[in-house]
Amino acid sequence: MAQPADHHFDVIVVGGGAIGLSTGYHLGKRKAKTLVLEQFNFKNQLGSSAGVSRQYRIPYPEEYMVQMALDAQPYWDELQTLTPRTLLDKVGTLWFGDPSVHSTEGNIAEAEQALKALNVPYTSLTAKEIEVQYHFRDLPETYTGLFQADGASIDFRATIETLYQACERDPYTTLRDESPVTGIEQDGKLFNVTTPKGVFTSEKLVLVPGPYIDGVINLLGFTIEATYWNMSSCYFKKTDPKIQYPTWFVFQNAIGSNGNQFYGFPGVDWDHPEYIRVAPDFVIDPLTSPEQRTLVPNPQELAYTAAWVRDHMTGLDPTPYFTSTCLIALSRIPDKELLIDFAPPYVPNHQNIVVYATGWAAKFTPFLGKILTELALDGHSTFDISPFKLGYNYFKAI
């Protein structure tokens, strides 16, 4: 059935978080008539765009991820021209801990090799140097570290608001919230996307609903292999107002059932300036579905984090004060973090369905929007996405 003219678009973006808004922004720059659908309100706290800060960093154990972080920098510079608010608070990235440990973030020794291979400057550190220069204490003597000066704390709230405002101003882009997608049907080469606010038609789809990805791609007849983390976060009050930390991540082996990986941020003017945010990079009880998420952090995760702050950080009261949660989907495919690709070939018209899912991608926000736009409009990207292919064996037809 023919739709009204204002219901027909070149591209429909499903998901209005940071990556969806970035995609809408870049599609608008290409003058593609675009609709961005968000199931909740824009700028909500219910998905992987929750929270107000993220880490931008270049260290990764894989060269292709280091390259992606480097390639993202000019797109952050471009986005910065759209707002007077500082999006990246450049304080550097500190990785430290047991050099033999492999975690969800990778491995220190492998990260050093990748940085060297791409001629990215960094400084190697001993445990004592980390304590003297960066305010940590009582670290095992065997710990090593690296400091990379381009790391930053991302004002993620300002990033999302900047992208939202850019999309709102753009004559080619339409934003609709409270519009969960309940159906996707194909009429020849057109997609008919059903929402409570009407049926919208497009020639291309970009699917970026964050941890709610399965609820959308199930409508197309396939499902993703993923687990879901309801990640905790907490803020600790400064007892020394002059104390400052870089963004950091510590690699450790677990002792008993204790959590072992933690990361943190500097104090910033735009996010509880008298406090330092520290978070566990683990979950005690992973979820099997995003519907299981809660806005209440796991108390044991907070307790482990507070104990680590008490034992190894200076200038902070080790009592968690403010807390928050963030829901994220993580791929079960070995060695895959981000998944960027077209839909599997057994999905009709798959070459016009672009999917991004899973992983920690806030640091790539403006660049990912560019990549997804190229895939949708050009059928390929100038950035090599081969490491991020979906692995079709893991995307089962249903």
Q: Which residue of the set 98, 281, 341, 374 is catalytic?
A: 281
Is 360 an annotated catalytic residue?
yes
* Amino acid at site 140: P
Q: Which residue of the set 76, 234, 326, 374 is catalytic?
A: 326
Is 214 an annotated catalytic residue?
no
Distance, C-alpha 231 to centroid of its chain: 12
Structure tokens of 108?
């220190």
Are 66 and 120 in contact by the 8 Å Cβ rule? The answer is: yes
Q: Which residue of the set 54, 277, 293, 363 is catalytic?
A: 363
Q: Which residue of the set 56, 143, 263, 304 is catalytic?
A: 263
Is 30 an annotated catalytic residue?
no
Q: Which residues contact 390 (CB under 8 A, 6 or more apart)?
A: 333, 339, 341, 344, 355
Residue 290: φ, ψ to 5°: -65, -20
Q: Which residue of the set 25, 38, 56, 57 is catalytic?
A: 57
Is 263 an annotated catalytic residue?
yes
From 131, 43, 51, 149, select the one nearest 91 (Cα to Cα). Answer: 149
Cα–Cα distance, 137 to 132 (Å, whole number): 8
Task: Measure the CA angle with vertex 96, ends 144 and 113; round to 5°.
Answer: 75
Is 269 an annotated catalytic residue?
no
* Amino acid at site 384: D
Is 150 an annotated catalytic residue?
no
Are 292 and 280 in contact by the 8 Å Cβ rule? The answer is: no
| Residue whose structure tokens are 């699917």 | 207
Is 274 an annotated catalytic residue?
no
Residue 90 DSSP class: E
Catalytic residues: 57, 105, 263, 281, 326, 360, 363
